[in-house]
Amino acid sequence: MSKKTYIQAITDALRLELGSDEKTLIFGEDVGKNGGVFRATDGLQAEFGEDRVFDTPLAESGIGGLSIGLALEGFRPVPEIQFLGFIFETMDSIAGQMSRERFRTGGTRHMPITIRSPYGGGTHTPEMHADSLEGYLAQIPGLRVVTPSNPYDAKGLLISSIRNNDPVFFLENLKLYRSMKADIPDEAYTVPLDKANVVREGTDITLIAYSAQVNQSLKVAEKLEKEGISVEVVDLRTLSPLDEDTILKSVQKTGRAVAIQEAQRQAGIAANVASLIAEKGALYLSAPVGRVSAPDTVYPFGLAEDDWLPAEDEIEAKTREILNY
Amino acid sequence: MDNEKPIVDFGAIRDALGKDFKPVQVIDGQANVVNQAIVSKYSNDQLVDFLKLMIWERTLHQRSNALTRQGRLGFYAPTEGQEASEMGSNSAMKSTDVLMPAYRDIPQLIQHGLPVYKAFLWSRGHVLGNEYPEDLHAMPPQIIIGAQYIQAAGVALGIKKNGTEDKVAYSYTGDGGTSQGDFYEGMNFAGAFQAPAVFIVQNNGYAISVPRRKQTAAKTLAQKAVAAGIPSVQVDGMDFLAVHEVTKAAREYAAAGNGPVMIETLTYRFGPHTNAGDDPKRYRTKEEEQPWFDNDPLIRYRKYLTDQGVWSEDLENEYVEQVKADIKAAVKQADEAPKQKMTEFLENVFEEKPQNIQQQITEYQAKESK
């Protein structure tokens, strides 16, 4: 066991997977000598060589297409898209190409690609550097969208993603990179894909969240516990496809649910969770499903970020509202 | 001061751009040999085989056209006029090379090893048409213009990293495709990584209805490779031997570890963009088309080999009948493909099935067993 930050856990996973499978390749913009703009790949080129960890020309579509070609030649590509806001440049390679290949080829070809990308607001980045775009990705058949909320999951989910034979979009929360530390095992371990995690058990209401919002939800749960309110918190971990069983089981127990996301409200992950509960768990409910999200505007980088992002007190207020409905 | 020469003469620079590119030719439009040394490298039997490749493609085109009109094929992009460009280049490749085709490259795919009935199934929209055996080194035809170029760069880098000897990735696009960002990114990535890729641009004059001159201010498409730092060449795309020899040289250069190459073939799409309602009369004149029809790649090779006494109308008719019979058998085989099932689609979304897929398999199994 060692105390590791969220980003150190990610580096750790990358190092272990580079070491255990020589077909694993890491590439992207500035990931080589520079070790990534956030140092997620720090030291990996020095340890594994330029053949395994390398810089690409500055072109996201090229990085996506390169991954597909390398996968066809038997490699296990782990490309980095420097910021999630840059994926629009490579949406064809993700939505139009790699996610379709297993289907398109009748299962005769597969794409073991894990695209890593940082996202999430609150760190005062320039425009297009903090947007939560997971909703776009979640609608793509054949693609898993995975995001950890803590260092243990960051390492275990990333190892599972890299070892998986289908494409995974692995979202890393910028704000959590260095703000969280935890004791995690030094050796390789996996955290299952497609499985949500009940990070806190409770009986009165279920908060369903992911990434940084899990930590805010846990704080709300702790606060309400002092008032005798028992809050269950579910960390989705895999945003698409959803672990329906874990969500429904929790709602069946508590009878009340709030779905929380940092992204804009329209057509998001929380809407997907709410519709799942409406479709398959409506009769468990004693109150409507609550939703907490950012407003339906463009992400306002800079001064207004903290006003725009869903805050702990908004989660608390919505939780109380649904409890007292 | 007004008469002072500017520090840079941009007009002169512009006028010089692309001047270095002169189309390579071996046998001209009148069937005159302009490069005897190249022709002499081949026996008459080999030259007849080359002509047969073009006749095969023309016959495949004619049958595909007819089958599309009868509603027996789905999507079809006519290849008539591009036989020298497509067969000339493809025949210079090895079966171990990786082909990244677009939708007009079906003849190359078939020559690379795809059974004709599978090509027909692809056209109809049957996934069995895309189930390639492992030793067919190709991907299904790309629909997104340019996407195959960056993937080819990735395949080429993979070949280099695997240390595979004498193997290249090759990919096709058209004149319209050279306007896509992915076209440049593919060449630039392959160039930056010095990966063994051969990029072939079939300049057939039109991107659906938009003529080549409206795609770019560049005088040639070949010169677009210059910016990526990779060598490129223009070739008479109606001249099989010229395309073949140039592609062979490009392949050898790339396979030897020198990095990628780009080839622009000057050809013409005799027919419409696809058989889904495109009418070239809306954007082309007869006056423009006729010289290209006269420049048909089959005419000059047929004439040359007939003059040599090794080809005749009888031989051609006999060969065409054989090709037609093969195509007829392929249609029959395609007709025998089983109806596609939603459960089979669902099986091929992920290797390890998440809950939604498992649930939907169960739902559709119930429907399909009724």
Q: Contact, A44 vs A14, CB < 8 A? A: yes
Residue B108 dihedral angles phi and psi, to the nearest 5°: -65, -40
> Which pLDDT score is estimated for B2?
61
| Among A144, A155, A162, residue whose Cα is nearest residue A7 | A155
Judging by beta carbons within 10 Å of its beta carbon (0-12, 13-18, 19+), is residue A186 exposed, middle or buried?
A: exposed
Q: What is the pLDDT of residues A255-282, one digit of tens each?
A: 999 999 999 999 999 999 999 999 999 9
Helix, strand and coil in chain B, % to nearest 5: 50, 10, 40
CA distance A269 to A275: 10
Dist CA B350 CA B370 (whole Å)? 26
Report the pLDDT value the prediction gives residue A101, as an integer from 0 to 100: 98
pLDDT score at A213: 98
Q: For chain B, how long is the longest CA-to-CA vector?
A: 90
Helix (H) or strand (E) holding B202: strand B197-203
pLDDT of residue B370: 85
Q: What is the pLDDT along chain B (370 residues), one digit of tens a residue?
A: 567 889 999 999 999 999 989 999 999 999 999 999 999 999 999 999 999 999 999 999 999 999 999 999 999 999 999 999 999 999 999 999 999 999 999 999 999 999 999 999 999 999 999 999 999 999 999 999 999 999 999 999 999 999 999 999 999 999 999 999 999 999 999 999 999 999 999 999 999 999 999 999 999 999 999 999 999 999 999 999 999 999 999 999 999 999 999 999 999 999 999 988 899 999 999 999 999 999 999 999 999 999 999 999 999 999 999 999 999 999 999 999 999 999 999 999 999 999 999 999 999 999 999 8
Q: Where are the beta strands (DSSP E) in chain A?
A: 2-5, 24-28, 53-55, 76-80, 114-119, 144-146, 168-173, 181-184, 197-200, 205-209, 231-235, 238-240, 257-264, 290-294
Look up residue B229 and give its DSSP letter. T
Residue-level pLDDT at B1: 55
Residue A241 preceded by cis peptide, ω within 30: yes
**B157 near A CB under 8 A:** yes
The confidence band for A39, taking pLDDT boundaries of 50, 70 and 90, is very high
Residue A226: is it exposed, middle or buried by C-beta count within 10 angstroms (0-12/13-18/19+)? exposed
Chain A CB within 8 Å of residue B228 CB: no
A99-112 residue pLDDT tens: 999 999 999 999 99
- Least Cα distance to B311 among B33, B50, B40, B42 occurs for B50
What ipTM was estimated for this complex?
0.96
Reported as half-sphere exposure (CB side, CA atoms, 13 A), residue B104 has a value of 34
Return the residue in A61, A92, A237, A247 with the most chain B beta carbons within 10 A, the one to mutate for interface testing: A61
Q: What is the mean pLDDT of residues A84-112?
A: 98
pLDDT value of residue B5: 86
Per-residue pLDDT, B277: 86
Task: Tell me whether residue A154 is exposed, middle or buried, using C-beta atoms within 10 angstroms of its C-beta: 0 to 12, 13 to 18, 19 or more.
Answer: buried
A166/B contact by beta carbon, under 8 A: yes
Q: Residue B84's pLDDT is what?
A: 98
Residues 6+ apart with CB under 8 A from B219: B17, B18, B19, B21
Query: Is 70 exceeded by the pLDDT of residue A7?
Result: yes
Q: Which residues of B are less than 8 Å from A75 in CB distance? A: 158, 161
C-alpha span between A235 and A5 (Å, rounded): 19
Set of chain A residues whose Cβ sits within 8 Å of the Cβ of B157: 66, 69-70, 73
B140 contacts A72? CB cut-off 8 A: no
Residue to mutate among A27, A76, A100, A103, with most B CBs inside 10 A, is A103
- N-to-C CA span, chain B: 90
Q: Give me the mean pLDDT over the A144-162 stretch.
A: 98
Q: How far is the C-alpha of A263 from the C-alpha of A84, rounded, in Å?
A: 13
pTM, whole model, 2 decimals? Answer: 0.97
Helix (H), strand (E) at residue B100: strand B98-100
